[in-house]
Amino acid sequence: MTVFEDNDTPTIDNLEGDTAAFVEEGGPVYLDVDGDAFVADVDHANFDGGLLTIEIVENHATSEDILVFDTEDTGIMFNENDDGTAFLVMVDEVVIGEMPFEYGAQGDNIGISLNENATPEIISRLIQALTYDNLNMRNPSTATRTVEISLRDSQGPDADLITVQTFITVEDIPEVNHAPVLDLNGATAGIDITRAYTENGAAFRVATSATVADSDDYVYNGGSLTIAITDALTSDRLSLINQGPVRFYDNVVDHGGSIVGTFSGGTGGTPLVITFLPDLSPADTPEYTIADIVRAVAYASSSDNPPTSRTITYTLDDGGGREFDGQVVVATATVNITAVNDRPVLTLADTTVSGVEDLDVVFGVATGNAITVADADGDTLTVTITASNGTMSPSTDDGVTLTGDGTSSLQLVGTAAAINAALDGLRYLGNLNFEGSDSLVVTVRDPAGLSATNTIALTIADDGIINGDGGDNAQTGTAGADFFDASPGGTEDLTGLDGNDAFYFRAELDAQDLVDGGDGIDQVGLQGNYGTFGLGATPFQFGAGNLTNVEQLVLLSGSDSRFGDTSGSLYSYNLQMLDGNVGA
């Protein structure tokens, strides 16, 4: 008997009829569902000269289906062969066959020419690592795919072929709009950012490395970007600075020459709003333009006393890509502000002020010539006011440290509010009988030495009177007619010179006062009780040299108010003059 050896067909067990379930965007799935596919061949130890093919034979969607081996922790890898015509297929770094370059391209099938290293165990591992994926992430075909896996054991007329079928179901997940990812700090961990700003600095771009990622890759029509400051102040400024391909002009956003939106707000503490093109616009606001717009947002403050930090929120609404409701994401920037010392401010409501000799000049709001100070930092201030020909007194010393009250150099130390209260009603009084030009030099200084100075020009008009002040005075008139007011009292030594002079003493003349009328017809006026009457009456006795060159003595009653006496009283005069005491 002669026995002829027959080539038995290889077998693939635990695979026929497996059904893999693919879910849209769920990632690749294994065709060998249980991972136990088993290849055997009773006639051959390897498949040298054989061929392994994998092909989608029913409902093949060539634009989206892809068959690929899992190379993660499976020992499977692919390297280009020496002549660059195919991939070397390797398992555990051993070449087991070759495959055309088209392997893994979407819609292509797989064919591997096997060599002597392709043992049944190796082929089993290949089949177990075979996966299906779908490139359509929005609307994949849901038809069930039929996959044929064929294994031929060798070449030539005696070769045998085994083919098994597996199936793939595809589930189309209803499409949704996924939220974008807004990251203000780029590669740094987290999505928020902290920046630094110095008071009075120029506007600076806050998130220069910002990125925007969106798995939907939609256009952003119908969406917006809103940048707002928590507890915003009118001094807060949000703006957009041209950078990269994005430009801002006439309230439009231009990206690379195409208008992609409009912008508004950002001043006076209002939010800055970038509105992308509307849903019905024939043009798009592409997703790739958004990061450039975010990077262009800038912050500044016009305040001389800003808060120590500002919280800026970026709210991005992706608009839903024309098809869905928009998804909104928020990221936050914290801007820490470094304060600088600001120069105090001095304000003079009027720098040319007029007054009258021997009368107070009052400075304040009511008189339209207020002197005020301010300091953005709220520091304790020092105000110094100096005069050349007069003295000053504040309206109050509440809340201030006062130096030089009633002198020509006045200093006040305190807050701006307290100093302003003291200066509202400040009184300047020229030196006795001063008339002409004077100046008040006002200086305000803060603790750091920053200061502001200004000058008030004073013009003091002549009142036609030579006044006394209640002290002991020696005063000389002019060549013309003079009026001396000695009514405040004190010991006076008055000289009239030429002209018809008048000397008014009211009730203050005593024996020590000296009056020399000089040339002309001169008179001394009295208005008050002089001497006594009745039993033991005592006359007023003029002193030695009391009156010289005085031709007239005028006695006035209290009903004569020309010189300020408004009492309406009747006065008594008992006067005694000796020839030696009065020279006329």
Query: Order of strands across the sheet with 466-467?
Result: 466-467, 483-485, 502-506, 523-526, 552-555
Per-residue model confidence as pLDDT tens digits over 495-537: 999 999 999 999 999 999 999 999 999 999 999 999 999 888 9
**Percentage of the chain lying above the pLDDT 90 cut:** 74
Q: How confident is residue 220, by pLDDT bands cut at 50, 70 and 90?
A: confident
How far apart are alpha carbons 172 and 25 in whole angstroms?
9
How far apart are alpha carbons 73 and 123 in whole angstroms?
16
pTM greater than the 0.85 cutoff: no
Q: Which two tokens stand for residue 425?
A: 């009603």
Q: How confident is residue 154, by pLDDT bands cut at 50, 70 and 90?
A: confident
H helical segments located in 215-282: none
How far apart are alpha carbons 375 and 305 in whole angstroms?
9
How far apart are alpha carbons 49 and 92 in whole angstroms?
20
pLDDT of residue 491 exceeding 80, the answer is yes
pLDDT of residue 555 exceeding 90, the answer is yes
Closest C-alpha to 227, from 266, 183, 195: 266
Query: Order of strands across the sheet with 426-430?
Result: 361-363, 426-430, 390-393
Sign of CA dihedral 118, 121, 123, 126: negative
Per-residue model confidence as pLDDT tens digits over 73-85: 999 999 988 888 8
| Interval 544-564 mean pLDDT | 93
Whole-number pLDDT of residue 216: 67
How far apart are alpha carbons 255 and 253 in whole angstroms?
7
Q: How confident is residue 137, by pLDDT bands cut at 50, 70 and 90?
A: confident
How far apart are alpha carbons 390 and 541 in whole angstroms?
38
How far apart are alpha carbons 203 and 236 in whole angstroms?
10
Whole-number pLDDT of residue 578: 78
Whole-number pLDDT of residue 104: 52
| All domains of the chain in start order, with CATH | 11-171 (2.60.40), 181-338 (2.60.40.10), 345-461 (2.60.40.10), 464-584 (no CATH)
Q: How confident is residue 172, by pLDDT bands cut at 50, 70 and 90?
A: confident
pLDDT of residue 323 exceeding 80, the answer is no
Whole-number pLDDT of residue 180: 84
| Interval 346-351 mean pLDDT | 98
Whole-number pLDDT of residue 100: 80
* 406 burial level (CB within 10 Å; 0-12, 13-18, 19+): exposed
pLDDT of residue 566 exceeding 60, the answer is yes
pLDDT of residue 1 exceeding 70, the answer is no
How far apart are alpha carbons 83 and 89 in whole angstroms?
15
Q: How confident is residue 4, by pLDDT bands cut at 50, 70 and 90?
A: very low
- H or E element that contains 548: strand 547-548
| Interval 408-436 mean pLDDT | 97
Q: Indicate the DSSP class of residue 308.
A: S
Per-residue buried b or exposed e for 73-84, using 16+ beta carbons within 10 Å of the residue's own CB: eeebebeeeeee
pLDDT of residue 565 exceeding 60, the answer is yes
H helical segments located in 278-336: 290-295
Task: Check: CB of residue 40 under 8 Å from CB of residue 13.
Answer: yes
Whole-number pLDDT of residue 580: 58
Per-residue model confidence as pLDDT tens digits over 8-66: 789 999 999 999 999 887 889 999 999 999 999 888 899 999 999 999 999 999 888 99
Q: Taking every pair of C-alpha atoms in the chain, what is the biggest distance, in angstroms?
A: 192
Any idea which of 105-109, 123-127, 186-190, 262-266 has the lowest mean pLDDT? 105-109
Q: Average pLDDT, whole number, for the chain?
A: 91
Distance of CA 434 to the CA centre of its chain: 54
| Interval 371-376 mean pLDDT | 95
Q: How confident is residue 3, by pLDDT bands cut at 50, 70 and 90?
A: very low
Whole-number pLDDT of residue 280: 80
A 10 A CB-CB count for 342 gives 19
Cβ neighbours of residue 274 closer than 8 Å, sequence gap 6 or more: 224, 225, 226, 240, 253, 261, 262, 263, 293
Per-residue model confidence as pLDDT tens digits over 461-482: 999 899 999 999 999 999 999 9
From residue 353, give the alpha-carbon distance in Å to each of 308, 427, 565: 42, 13, 30
